[in-house]
Structure 1
Amino acid sequence: MIDEIRDAAGACIVIGGGLAGLSAALALAPQPVILLSKAPLGREASSALAQGGVAASIGFDDNVSLHLADTLEAGDGLCDEDVARRILAAAPAAIEDLIRLGAPFDRDQDGNLLLGLEAAHSRRRIVHAGGDSSGREIMRALTRLAYETPSITIIERAAARRLIVEDNAVAGLVVNTHCGPVFFACDRIVIATGGVGGLYEHGTNPAGSFGQGLALAAEAGALMADLEFVQFHPTALDGKSFPLKLISETVRGEGAILIDETGHRFMAGVPGAELAPRDVVARAVWRRMTAGHRVFLDARDAVGDDFPRRFPAIAGFCRDEGIDPAAQPIPIRPAAHYHMGGIAVDLAGRTSVEGLWACGEAACTGLHGANRLASNSLLEAAVCGRFVAESISGTSARRPAKTAPSARFVGSDPAPVRGVLSSAAGVLRDADGLRNAVRALYPMAQGDGPARDAAIVALMIVIAALRREESRGAHARTDFPGKAVEARRSFLKLDEALDLAREFAVEPVA
């Protein structure tokens, strides 16, 4: 039962303390904001784990058109070109804004920003901080500023559990806190909760990133888009940690190669080789592993003894696993890394529910299409967080609900879902595996146990993957290896997904 009722008093509630949520909250100042974070602010956010940096066309040999061309190529026909152009055009200003907010980007001896190269980029355009610690350094600056901003009320260790919607408009939010469930009467909410890597057995996102924001929006009736597209990073450190530590693409950008235990460089004959788009590299690594091989990233010749200086965070991860990357190949494997799909939004971050916005990885703007271009994610979070703030500033307050819901809300546990989704909707998929996943997930999504929210998101991903009978970008079907003639985005609501799942659930198992 609800222990406390609070009136948000006209404040906008931002759910999520990563780069997208912080960008929106800071851009809304001096308007009042309530910022909810499941963990202490700045911790357990995917943004803080980002190593590469922020993609922006600021080099002397670069421009927005080139950045757009690379983005569209990686997106494999599904990017919204107009949206992509607007977001990428805002990148140089976003870099300046982050610098103003305190982001300590790396510079050369003359004070110029250093630019890195990552896979599928035609130019050096990755602005980074602390070498391979970009996300951590950016988040440190923005977190400090959020604490210092009087208009932002930060509530930590608070998990949003249910959106209350009346006549397709936001009317309130139920939040689990360390003091018990609290109902906030509010009419403007931003979902900035990150991705779905925590739904997989091997992922690079924090364990708590299992699509909570998507479940909130889906149960409120919001439209979802492109859910089947989950990007697997091809080079996660194959160790014992959860989440797996990421070996940034910048290591390959500096010349590191992929080999198996025999020393065979299996990407040598592929266009782009180790710097091919992530989906291409991830599938090549996965196929090598399923053929019985171990796979390694070898930086000995390309970086060698300079590795600890060039990549201090990665060198630390490797040391923890007993590996010296200057002298040994690094064992790697693909891991769920980024969700191109999410809550369907327009360029202003508006969802199909009035009073509900979304930004960052939880949202699907159409920028990434079927496969995200490296380092466009932090860019999208920073740019679209500000777009959302501008949209909210142009709205007027409505009358939120005053009566709290009477339902009981239990905790969330994605553990029962991980094995099911990893097996069915991993790097490679097929109809039999996806249908079996539907049968396993449907009862959990219909129940009221702790796996419910995670199962809802996983079920919608699986249904979307079943409906896309082609291979495109990060979605690879072994039973439909070809690409459809017409590229179409996919859209799905929870009610529709449950109806389809019900049909699969009663089918006899083949």
Structure 2
Amino acid sequence: MRVVVVGTGIAGLITAYRASAQHDVVLVTKAELAESNTKYAQGGIAAALFPDDSAASHIEDTLRAGAGLCDLPAVEVLCTEGPQRVRDLIALGVEFDRAADGELARGHEAAHSARRVIHAGGDATGLAIEVALLRAVRSIAVEVHEHTFMRDLVVERDTEGAERVVGIDAVAPDGSAFRIDADVVVLASGGAGQLYRHTTNPAVTTGDGIAAAWRAGAELADVEFYQFHPTALAVPGSPLVSEAVRGEGAVLLDEHGRRFMFDVHPDGELAPRDVVARGIAAAMARQEGRPVLLDATGLEAAHHPGFLEERFPSITRVTREHGFDWTREPVPVTPAAHYWMGGVRTDLDGRTTLRGLYAVGEAACTGVHGANRLASNSLLESLVFAWRAADALDADAGTAPPAGEGRRLESAASRVHRLEVVPRSGSAASASRSPRPVAGAAGAATRADIQNLMWAAVGLERDATTLRTAAETLAEWSVDATTVAGLEDRNLLDLARIVTHAALVREESRGAHDRTDAPETREEWRHSLAWHLEAAALTEEVPA
């Protein structure tokens, strides 16, 4: 079977490596092979590997962070299969840091009840994993297309009359269009951090796979839940300052030197990410938008001189490059878009609702993160579910999972897209309707326009009036999709419309979705929303 894998982070590389044993694999990436979100992951990978920890405890922590929306079977798979998958990474050559006694070194991160986060290169875990997996993939027979952009999925009807993905339409490095045929396409193309003006994600994260799946007719789920990392260095580029820094004991201060997070949550700096991010945003609002301070100076005294550079070499280098000595002074930090809990809806083996299409990693929505991801569960999710997807290819070449059960509600996501919103199986959702965004004369928009609007209207805090205005604006916008950059902008605009509309539909606050006009978490909204483009309802073609 010919399997096309789009994306070369941990999810894509694991899928390619595992699938290559039984299938012909084609690996496609729009940048160089090593460029992905994985490369920039700092904190580590969470797994219950130690005698004083358990999968049950990891499950409980994940469910608590997910604010009532985690899919329990998915969480159980993540936490019970995770330890063995980490051992598999070690067998593939990932050199995790070791303590003096030779055991795996482990750190503590927010909302974890145990020290279970293992790391590599201090704060370069993602890079260490990427290097090892690239070495493994290069040792096998895999066809690789670098600097190749996936424009769209190719969908045809099979002999049973069902729609099926049969390949991708791509743009070659020289700008020419060509098609890559496939029996199965696996999307491992990452998230869409470039939706926002401030993001910890690299420039390649424009949601290409998710947008293409959407246009092809696959269901998306949980799209309103975008996680904002609490601590990005408040400098151009918003470089990440890992959760692990606070796990080691760093504290957050306002500009008067006052520690404020215990006013927000009893766990202080180690509260779930959504809570810490909003706590920082509130403190910044009280000081006219100026950043708060992350104070790690006490860690040198608590451990030994040179500890910060030893434990966090990458962050130390970045802070120095921007003129800070964080061993002697607090550094300015601000929240930034970091991780999308939503994505292409899948089952536990990566199958989407469209035959012949799988999704893994941040491009997928397995339901494992619910409304808010637990720190250091992202690399683990990519590893565990990519492994399962690759193995599932042998038994099932893309059969669609059962459609979502429960009551279905219909709404509009943009001036041209009609959707049906499907609660996850077993939910008790009641039907509701949101206003259709007003369609107006198309106006040209830039990527910066989209990012600024999303940051202001669909960021850490949201309300119906602002969301409705944003939806109307997005409905009027168009982009010039004649170049690869323009095609990326098309993807961002499609996804901005969906995220905004989903945020308008969910009339409550839960996890990473904070509605200032609906601050309560409501039991009737304890379900996920899945969104499906109804081709028959299109009033005009999707912009090319």
1:34 paired residue among 3, 26, 31: 26
Tell me the residue number matched to 2:359: 358
Offset of 1:498 from its aligned partner?
Answer: 9.0
Tell me the residue number matched to 2:11: 20
Cα displacement string for residues 431-488 of structure 1 (whole angstroms, at most 9, x for unaligned residues):
1111121122123369856232210011100111000000000000001001112311
Distance, in Å, in 2 between the alignment partners of 1:357 and 1:119 is: 31
Tell me the residue number matched to 1:372: 373
For the Cα contact (< 8 Å) 1:33–1:153, is it kept in 2? yes
Tell me the residue number matched to 1:395: 396
Offset of 1:396 from its aligned partner?
Answer: 5.2
For the Cα contact (< 8 Å) 2:41–2:127, is it kept in 1? yes
Q: Secondary structure at the match of 2:298?
A: coil
TM-score by length of 1: 0.90
Cα displacement string for residues 363-415 of structure 1 (whole angstroms, at most 9, x for unaligned residues):
000100000000100000011111110111223599xxxxxxxxxxxxx9744
Distance, in Å, in 1 between the alignment partners of 2:466 and 2:185 is: 37
Q: What letter matches 1:299 in structure 2?
A: A
Distance, in Å, in 1 between the alignment partners of 2:527 and 2:308 is: 43
Q: What letter matches 2:396 in structure 1?
A: T
Distance, in Å, in 2 between the alignment partners of 1:32 and 1:103 is: 25
For the Cα contact (< 8 Å) 1:445–1:456, is it kept in 2? no
Q: Secondary structure at the match of 2:73?
A: helix
Q: What letter matches 1:460 in structure 2?
A: I
Distance, in Å, in 2 between the alignment partners of 1:89 and 1:397 is: 25
For the Cα contact (< 8 Å) 1:55–1:376, is it kept in 2? yes
Aligned length, in residue pairs: 475
2:511 paired residue among 473, 490, 500: 473
Offset of 1:303 from its aligned partner?
Answer: 3.4
2:455 paired residue among 405, 422, 425: 422
Tell me the residue number matched to 1:264: 258
Tell me the residue number matched to 1:230: 226
Change (3 A) 1:273 1:397: closer
Cα displacement string for residues 128-152 of structure 1 (whole angstroms, at most 9, x for unaligned residues):
10111100111011112211212x1
For the Cα contact (< 8 Å) 1:254–1:303, is it kept in 2? no
Distance, in Å, in 2 between the alignment partners of 1:488 and 1:431 is: 20
Q: Secondary structure at the match of 2:213?
A: helix
Q: Secondary structure at the match of 1:325?
A: coil
Distance, in Å, in 2 between the alignment partners of 1:165 and 1:297 is: 49
Q: Secondary structure at the match of 1:178?
A: coil
Tell me the residue number matched to 2:296: 299
Q: Does 1:138 align with 2:129?
A: yes
Cα displacement string for residues 149-181 of structure 1 (whole angstroms, at most 9, x for unaligned residues):
12x111100111111112320122101111311
Change (3 A) 1:215 1:414: farther
Distance, in Å, in 2 between the alignment partners of 1:226 and 1:365 is: 10
Offset of 1:110 from its aligned partner?
Answer: 2.5
Q: Does 1:77 align with 2:71?
A: no
Distance, in Å, in 2 between the alignment partners of 1:303 and 1:223 is: 49
Q: What letter matches 1:370 in structure 2?
A: A
Distance, in Å, in 1 between the alignment partners of 2:538 and 2:270 is: 41
Alignment of 1:65-464 (within 5 A): 65-150=56-141, 152-167=142-157, 168-179=163-174, 180-241=176-237, 244-269=238-263, 270-291=265-286, 292=288, 293-303=290-300, 305=305, 306-395=307-396, 414-444=447-477, 450=486, 451-464=489-502
Q: Secondary structure at the match of 1:189?
A: strand
2:528 paired residue among 489, 498, 507: 489
Offset of 1:25 from its aligned partner?
Answer: 0.5
Distance, in Å, in 2 between the alignment partners of 1:369 and 1:490 is: 11
Q: Secondary structure at the match of 1:283?
A: helix
Q: Which has the higher contact order (CA 8 A, sep 6+)?
A: 1
Offset of 1:494 from its aligned partner?
Answer: 3.1
Change (3 A) 1:144 1:94: same
Percent identical residues: 44
Q: Secondary structure at the match of 2:4?
A: strand
Distance, in Å, in 1 between the alignment partners of 2:33 and 2:110 is: 31
For the Cα contact (< 8 Å) 2:358–2:398, is it kept in 1? no
For the Cα contact (< 8 Å) 1:210–1:414, is it kept in 2? no
Offset of 1:214 from its aligned partner?
Answer: 0.9
Offset of 1:17 from its aligned partner?
Answer: 0.4
Cα displacement string for residues 245-291 of structure 1 (whole angstroms, at most 9, x for unaligned residues):
11101110111000011101111332100000000000010111122
Change (3 A) 1:497 1:365: farther
Cα displacement string for residues 106-145 of structure 1 (whole angstroms, at most 9, x for unaligned residues):
1122321111110000001011101111001110111122
Change (3 A) 1:495 1:446: farther
For the Cα contact (< 8 Å) 1:444–1:452, is it kept in 2? no
> What is the RMSD of the two structures over their aligned residues, measured on CA atoms?
2.0
Cα displacement string for residues 296-321 of structure 1 (whole angstroms, at most 9, x for unaligned residues):
10011133542112211000010011
Q: What letter matches 2:510 in structure 1?
A: R
Unaligned runs of 5+ in 2: 158-162, 400-444, 540-544
For the Cα contact (< 8 Å) 2:10–2:130, is it kept in 1? yes
For the Cα contact (< 8 Å) 1:459–1:497, is it kept in 2? no
Q: Secondary structure at the match of 1:389?
A: helix
Change (3 A) 1:496 1:71: farther
Q: What letter matches 2:504 in structure 1?
A: L
Q: Secondary structure at the match of 1:201?
A: coil
Q: Secondary structure at the match of 2:297?
A: coil
For the Cα contact (< 8 Å) 1:147–1:154, is it kept in 2? no
For the Cα contact (< 8 Å) 1:442–1:498, is it kept in 2? no
